[in-house]
Amino acid sequence: MAGLSAEIWQSVFLTLKLATFATLILLALGTPLAWWLARSKSLWKEALAAIVAMPLVLPPTVLGFYLLVVLGPQGPGGALASLWGARTLAFSFTGLVIGSVLFSLPFVVQPIRNAFEAIGDRPLEVAATLRASPWRVFWTVAVPLASPGFLTGAILGFAHTVGEFGVVLMIGGNIPGETKVLSVVIFDYVETSQWTQAHLLSAGMVVFSFCVVLAMMLIEKRMMRRAS
Amino acid sequence: MSATIKVHLAGQLGQFALNAAFEVPARGVTALFGPSGCGKTSVLRGVAGLLHLRDGYCSIAGDVWQDAHHFRPVHQRALGYVFQESSLFAHLSVRGNLLYGAPKQAQDHVIRFDDVVALLGLATFLDRAPETLSGGERQRVAMGRALLSQPKILLMDEPLSALDRLTKDEILPFLERLHESLAIPVLYVSHDMSEVERLADHLVLMRAGQVMASGPLSALQSDPSLPLVSSQEAAVSLDARVEAYDAQDGMAALAVAGGRFLVPSAPLQIRASQRLRVLAGDVSLALAEPNESTIVNVLRAKILSVQESGAHQMVVVLGLGEDGQGARLLSRVTARSWRLLGLMQGMSVYAQVKGAALVRKAAPPRS
């Protein structure tokens, strides 16, 4: 029993670590992307938006399969891994982070893009007429006014990474402490008929998800109030 | 270095062709006036750099902001812009909004925070959120915010048009006070002639993307070649100086170039600057000085020109004084009277002014 709960804690810790890394990278990557999608007049922007949104409709196994090809020894991921002496990026924590970022990108980019678009041109123009450089406009006007979008995006990205299963199984497998996240652990428990453990973890996930959705709704409500 | 605002902006904006050029003194209030959709706002945005027209020239008192080779970005232009809606930053308090564009070093403030707060009556709501303010209060904060960025020119895009009548009357005195106490030139977009008559010193008359005329307000108001004279509301604004005040009758004597008006008024300070508005319909003409009449203001004037206006009506441009060299006045008379009195261009007449109103009201209450 003690061994089992150690395994559970290990996977919980690993899952939170993965979700934290992925969320930070998603914010760093998603913010400029969302800004460009919200502000650009380029014809290419909807094409890029569609690519970003693809993981919403693609089966996780398909995404996982291509990631496996790209991250594997024969792909660019493998070439990159050879720089530090590894053979492949697949079946590693790094590979899992890359996969999670791609898989959760639309959940982060979309709310931030919507929030940027909701600001409109006017506050940005006002700031420019008050001598603010584009850089200062972005950080002192655009980001604060879009903060509900950032919060929503971060929560969704985090929660979505915690809950992913298909992509993880395809590119991460089942290495305890390295790639064996919560959802995989639950799957294992069910496979081996350890229902008590499966119940424990699943109930925990239900509570977690409830909190996430509730938080999102409260944020949205606040955002609506501010907009009116 | 010439102290003028020189603007020439041309370009295609969708279906609309803009080709507007004017040069006005870099002092006082210049109104860009014309019907909706004539390109006034585009000109203002072009001056600010918010609209980048490739064929453009813009210089403010010798400082070139745009020419064939250079286009200075908006945030490097020393301007203050007041938009139609106040557009305060929702995430900052009133104080935060006011200070957003203010230089960090207090010694760089020619226009000081405390003065702006007093001038615009903002003291009571400095720490409130913009969404708790009324429309008029928000627009005052927006003006203060623009002023505190220490602009060399203030651009105002119909700052009153989104407000109701009462709120407008609440703000206009603040604008007038701004005009009197600050030396910054103002470009003021409006389609409301009563605002222009109250505030403007110079006028740029626009129609369909082009400038029809520009010059001192009263000169354009009385220019018979422009459509202003034939409007039903045709009027002239006269800059006047208070000469005397009779508290017993509640009348003020005001001197204008070539004449003197007596108008009912609240107590006024001697030598204060005032502005009179005289409607063309309130001025009638006589060949001899009327002896007994309830009309107080009868002034010598010379007929400078005449213009038919609608059916059986004439608009007469008068120059005050015996030589006609004084301020201009408009008079609307019937074609019949014109014929029966045998009036002619160049004749000396008596202008009987039924009503002359002070357009600048008493100083606003400070809150």
Distance between CA atoms of A133 and B360, rounded to whole angstroms?
Answer: 39
Handedness of CA B167, B170, B176, B181 (dihedral sign): negative
Sign of the torsion angle spanned by Cα atoms B251, B253, B256, B260: positive
CA B12 to chain centre: 29
Confidence at residue B15, expressed as pLDDT on a 0 to 100 scale: 82
Q: What is the pLDDT of residue B363?
A: 41
Contact B7, B43 (CB under 8 A): yes
The CATH number of residue B288's host domain is 2.40.50.100
Sign of the alpha-carbon torsion through B15, B21, B25, B31: negative
Count: domains in chain B:
2
Contacts of A130 in chain B (CB under 8 A): 75, 100-101, 145-146, 149
Planar angle of CA A104, B91, B139, nearest 5 degrees:
140
**Residues B9 and B142 reside in one and the same domain:** yes
Contact A128 B75 (CB under 8 A): yes
How far is residue B136's CA from residue B49's CA, in Å, rounded to a whole number? Answer: 27
Within 8 A of A124 by CB-CB distance, chain B residues are none
CA–CA separation, B213 and B215 (whole Å): 7
Establish if B70 belongs to a structural domain: yes
pLDDT value at position B360?
67
B261 occurs within a structural domain = no
* Residue B366 scores a pLDDT above 60: no
Within a domain: residue B365? Answer: no
Q: Do B313 and B210 share a structural domain?
A: no
Distance CA A51, CA A194 (A): 40
In this complex, do B50 and A127 lie within 8 Å of one another by their Cβ atoms?
no
Contacts of residue B91 in chain A, CB cutoff 8 Å? 144-145, 147
Say whether pLDDT at A58 is over 70. Answer: yes
Q: What is the pLDDT of residues A100-123, one digit of tens each?
A: 999 999 999 999 999 999 999 999
* Residue contact B100–A127, C-beta within 8 A: yes
Does residue B361 surpass a pLDDT of 60?
A: no
Averaged pLDDT, B249-276: 86
Same domain for B53 and B151, yes or no, is yes
Of the pLDDT bands very low, low, confident and very high (cuts 50, 70, 90), residue A1 is: very low
Structural domain span for residue A113: 2-227
Per the structure, the complete domain to which residue B165 belongs is given by 4-221
Rounded Cα distance between B277 and B271, Å, is 18
Task: With residue B350 as reference, give the H or E element that holds it.
Answer: strand B348-353
Q: Is the pLDDT of residue B13 over 50?
A: yes
Judge: A134–B75 Cβ closer than 8 Å, yes or no: yes
- Which tens digit of pLDDT belongs to each residue from B184-211? 899 999 988 888 888 888 999 998 888 9
Q: Does B162 touch chain A (CB under 8 A)?
A: no
Do you know the residue count of chain A?
228
Assigned token pair, A149: 């979008």
Alpha-carbon distance of B74 to A154, in angstroms, equals 33
Do both B168 and B301 map to the same domain?
no
DSSP-based three-state secondary structure for A40: coil
**CA dihedral sign of residues B254, B251, B178, B172:** negative
Query: Minimal Cα–Cα distance from A46 to chain B, Å?
Result: 23
Smallest CA–CA distance, residue A42 to chain B, in Å, is 18
Nearest Cβ partner of B145 from A130, A134, A141? A130
CA distance A147 to chain B (A): 10
CA–CA gap between residue B11 and residue B18 (Å, rounded): 5
Asked whether the predicted pLDDT for residue B365 surpasses 70, the reply is no
- Tens digits of residue pLDDT in B48-107: 999 988 888 999 988 899 988 899 999 999 999 999 888 899 999 999 999 999 888 777
Q: Tokens 């204008």, residue? A: B256
Distance from C-alpha of A152 to C-alpha of B259, rounded to nearest angstrom:
71
Structural domain includes residue B350:
yes
* Inter-chain touch A125–B74, beta carbons under 8 Å: yes
Verify whether the Cβ–Cβ distance A226 to B90 is below 8 Å: yes
Three-state SS at A217: helix
Task: For residue A129, list chain B residues with Cβ-Cβ distance below 8 A.
Answer: 48, 50, 74-75, 79-81, 101, 146, 149, 155
Token couple for B70: 């250079």
pLDDT given at position A2: 45
Cα–Cα dist B354/B294, whole Å: 9
pLDDT of residue A43: 86
Residue B2 has pLDDT above 70, yes or no: no
Chain A residues with beta carbon closer than 8 angstroms to that of B101: 129-132
Same domain for B166 and B53? yes
pLDDT at position A4: 57
- What does the pLDDT average to over A187-209? 90
Chain B residues closer than 8 Å to A132 by CB? 75, 100-101
Cβ contacts of A134 on chain B, cutoff 8 Å: 75
- Indicate whether B184 and B292 sit together in one domain: no
Closest Cβ–Cβ partner in A125, A137, A145 for B50:
A125
Alpha helices, DSSP H, located in chain A = 2-39, 45-53, 60-71, 76-81, 93-119, 122-129, 134-137, 143-145, 147-163, 166-171, 182-191, 195-227
Relative orientation angle of helices B135-148 and B165-181, to the nearest 10 degrees? 20
Residue B109 CB partners (closer than 8 Å, separation 6+):
B102, B103, B148, B150
Number of H helices, E strands in chain B: 8, 20
Q: At B172, which CATH number?
A: 3.40.50.300
The total number of structural domains in chain A stands at: 1
* Average pLDDT taken over every residue of chain B: 86
Closest CA to B174 of B120, B243, B132, B124: B120
Structure confidence at residue A227 as a pLDDT band (50, 70, 90): low
DSSP three-state, residue A165: coil
**Res. A84: pLDDT tops 90:** no
Is A180's pLDDT higher than 90? no
* pLDDT over threshold 90, residue B167: no
CB atoms within 10 A of CB B66: 23
B148 is a domain residue: yes
Non-local CB neighbours of B254 within 8 Å, separated by 6+ positions: B240, B241, B242, B243, B260, B261, B262, B263, B274, B276
The answer on B293 and B197 residing in a single domain is no
Name residue B59's beta-bridge partners. Answer: B6, B64
* Tens digit of each residue's pLDDT (9 = 90 or more) over A7-30: 888 888 999 999 999 999 999 999
Residue B226 is predicted with a pLDDT of 84
The C-alpha atoms of residue B236 and residue A34 are separated, in whole angstroms, by 55
Same domain for B325 and B192, yes or no, is no
Would the pLDDT of B1 be above 50?
Answer: no
Question: What's the whole-number mean pLDDT along residues A125-148?
Answer: 94
**CATH assignment of the domain containing A27:** 1.10.3720.10
Mean pLDDT of chain A: 88
Please check whether residues B17 and B145 belong to one and the same domain: yes
User: What share of chain B in percent tops pLDDT 90?
Assistant: 23
Tell me whether B83 touches chain A (CB under 8 Å): yes
Q: What pLDDT, on the 0 to 100 scale, is given for residue B354?
A: 86
| Rg over CA atoms, chain B | 22
Rounded to whole angstroms, how far apart are CA atoms B300 and B329?
11
Tokens of A218: 């409260």
**Cα A77 from Cα B40, distance rounded (Å):** 58
Same domain as B173, residue B36: yes
| pLDDT at residue A228, as a whole number | 53
CB contact under 8 A, B101 and A132: yes
B172 and B283 both lie in a single domain: no
Residue B355 has pLDDT above 90, yes or no: no
Tell me the residue length of chain B: 367
Q: Per the structure block, which two tokens stand in for B27?
A: 């002092």
Are residues B283 and B200 located together in one domain of the fold? no
